[in-house]
Amino acid sequence: MQTNNNCIVIFGASGDLTHRKLIPALYNLFKFGRLNKFSVLGVARSELNDDTFREKMREALLETEETTPETLDAFCSHLYYQAVNTSDAADYGKLVPRLEELHTKYQTNGNTLYYMSTPPSLYGVIPECLAAHGLNEEKDGWKRIIVEKPFGYDEKTAQELDVQIHRFFEEHQIYRIDHYLGKETVQNLLVLRFSNGWFEPLWNRNFIDYVEITGAESIGVEERGGYYDGSGAMRDMFQNHLLQVLAMVAMEPPAIINANSMRDEVAKVMHSLRPLTQDDVEHNLVLGQYTAAEIDGKEVKGYLQEKGVPANSRTETFMALRCEIENWRWAGVPFYVRTGKRLPARVTEIVIHFKTTPHPVFSQNAPENKLIIRIQPDEAISMRFGLKKPGAGFEAKEVSMDFRYADLADEQVLTAYERLLLDAMKGDATLFARTDAVHAAWKFVQPILDYKEAGGRVHEYEAGTWGPVAAEKLIAKSGRVWRKPSGKMKKKV
């Protein structure tokens, strides 16, 4: 039986992700009794020690988590720190006695989960340095390695990175994290589709007109301008998070729910994406960059004025794309996908637009049938359809049936990082990206990268708006409009 008793080694322990996401996730798992025998070994170059690391993590937890002094003390007693020059293989030798000591103290049988939360330039280096000291070998307990995004910078570098990691870790030991897959509502999409008889017959080209996927953020790039400028919306959100969500919408039912069957289906979707042509990148793609504006009486900087962003940057903070999936289920159904920073709301949602009736009997403006799957915030599913407006005549009016996820949650719902960390400890890779799907996703977006590289157009949009006008025109070509969701799912009846 798999056990989640282990030592979690976090590379990049002094970084942002560690105190914002990883430590709070581990803290909550501990608080709710999901971690038993475990220790956390923070590793970075900074000269901290166990006490100073604990103090920093304690401060971070006090800022974000509901806690009591007892639980906080109990959790922090499991935290340790080892300073290592992470680009020097010899220095990793320091980890050997530290890990031995921790495994003995916590009876964790050599089980070790490495988490690479470092700059991506170290993703190829760390596995090699661990292997130099036998720290990848599974003779005494399992060894797994979590790789944060970005997994590569393009198709070629993703392949190179795979080669580097595979020299020292086998595929079953590698967990490529995409935190969108850890979101409860993304998983719920699978349950909605595959545990209800009535969606499946409709879930195809015969009944679905088009699919809209939005990953909107109201924040700008904040303190991450330096990283973001080398990445842009395409690499930061689209190639990974949104394509994974698209795959969940489009995939075939897996034969069984396990890592291989699920990921086989995801990979099949990625492989079925119709390759983007020159015409697509010129006419079915819109890139945008936000400019300064006043939002709610406050001045908001434009992207070019953000810290760490070169004044002449052409990096996109918005992208919208019309794409298609070439298979029996989806042929001819457009998928409109958009993502951006500094949009009017923080909202991630999928809208399945069903075809209208063949002939509008009651009014010219027949109500649209749509299924809105709100991933965040305010997780919900809303079905929109037409009913008779009370009174004389037969005028149809769009009404909605809403289900809010919070109504179902009678137990603690794990956040994405909590869920994924726990899964990795249990050896369940179902919700982690597999190498073939990652490569297929890079291959699909390569024409967009080439277009950017070749100086493709980046439109301006004012911060606080739904992106460039060109994005409206993109969808309007087929007589459609983007939904303009607010942060909250409004009750319509």
Residue by residue, DSSP assigns 256-315 as SSSHHHHHHHHHHHHHHBPPP-HHHHHHSEEEEEEE-EEETTEEE--GGGSTT--TT---
Name the E strands within 127-281: 143-147, 174-176, 208-216
Per the CB < 8 A criterion, the answer to whether 215 and 241 are in contact is: yes
Q: Which helix (H) or strand (E) is 351 found in, with range?
A: strand 347-354
- Give the tokens for residue 56: 């920093």
Nearer to ligand BG6, 182 or 386 (CB): 182
Q: Which of 19, 241, 353, 439 is catalytic?
A: 241
Nearer CB in complex with ligand BG6: 241/353: 241
C-alpha to C-alpha distance for 95 and 100, rounded to whole angstroms = 8
Cα 220 to Cα 89: distance, rounded to the nearest angstrom: 38
Q: Site residues (CB under 6 A) for ligand BG6?
A: 179, 217, 236, 348
Residue 145 neighbours by CB under 8 Å, 6+ apart: 113, 114, 115, 116, 126, 127, 136, 165, 169, 173, 174, 175
Q: Which residue is nearest to ligand BG6 (CB)?
A: 236
Question: CB of 141: closest distance to ligand BG6 in angstroms?
Answer: 30
Tokens at residue 15, please? 């970084």
* Paired tokens of 5: 């008793």
Q: Residue 185 Cβ, how far from ligand BG6 at the closest point, in Å?
A: 11
Residue 183 known to bind ligand: yes
d(CA 391, CA 144): 65
8-state DSSP, 253: P
Q: Which two tokens stand for residue 294?
A: 């006043």
Q: Binding residue per annotation — 296?
A: no
341 is in an annotated binding site: yes
Q: What are the structure tokens assigned to 320, written together?
A: 């919208």
Q: Taking the complex as a whole, how short is the minimal distance between the CB of residue 287 and ligand BG6, in angstroms?
A: 16
Please state, in angstroms and rounded to a whole number, the distance separating the CA atoms of residues 381 and 404. 7
241 is catalytic: yes
Is the Cβ of residue 217 or residue 316 nearer to ligand BG6 in the bound state? 217
Question: Which among 171, 136, 147 has a CA at the least distance from the CA of 12?
Answer: 147
CB of 243 to ligand BG6, least distance (A): 13
- Cα(371)–Cα(368) distance, rounded to whole angstroms? 10
Is 45 annotated in a binding site? The answer is: yes
| 301 annotated ligand binder | no
Residue 233 CB, nearest approach to ligand BG6 (Å): 9
Residue 132 beta carbon to ligand BG6: minimum distance, rounded to whole angstroms:
31
Residues with catalytic roles: 241
Which residues are known binding-site members for NADP(+)?
A: 45, 149
Can you say which residues are annotated as belonging to the binding site for substrate? 179, 183, 217, 236, 341
